[in-house]
């Protein structure tokens, strides 16, 4: 069981880091920091590589949050 607790933490923080790296890749390419701050407006246009990295990070975070939510509900 300790292994699963450790794995959850690694996946969550790893996913968050991957997500932030994708945003840094976008900011480095476009120098458009305003879009990162105003994230609720759909102004970010990722390159295909940035999009894949972004979605991988988001999927890791969302998957872990869903697993924890189901664990607490059941």
Q: In this predicted structure, what is the pLDDT of residue 15?
A: 85
The residue written with tokens 């295909």 in the block is 48
pTM (two decimals): 0.71
What's the pLDDT score for residue 42? 76
* Better pLDDT: 70 or 40: 70
User: Would you state the pLDDT for residue 57?
Assistant: 86
pLDDT at 61: 84
* Total number of domains in the chain: 1
The domain containing residue 58 runs over which residues? 2-73
Other C-beta atoms within 10 Å of 27: how many? 14
The pLDDT tens digits for 8-64 are: 788 888 888 888 888 888 888 988 888 878 766 777 888 888 888 888 888 888 887
DSSP annotation of 42 reads: S
CA distance 19 to 22: 5
């Amino acid at each position: 069981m300790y292994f699963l607790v450790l794995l959850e933490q690694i996946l969550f923080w790893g996913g968050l880091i991957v997500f932030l790296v994708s945003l840094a890749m976008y900011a480095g390419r476009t120098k458009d920091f305003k879009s990162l701050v105003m994230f609720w407006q759909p102004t970010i246009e990722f390159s295909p590589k940035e999009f894949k990295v972004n979605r991988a990070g988001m999927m890791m975070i969302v998957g872990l949050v869903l697993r924890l939510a189901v664990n607490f509900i059941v």
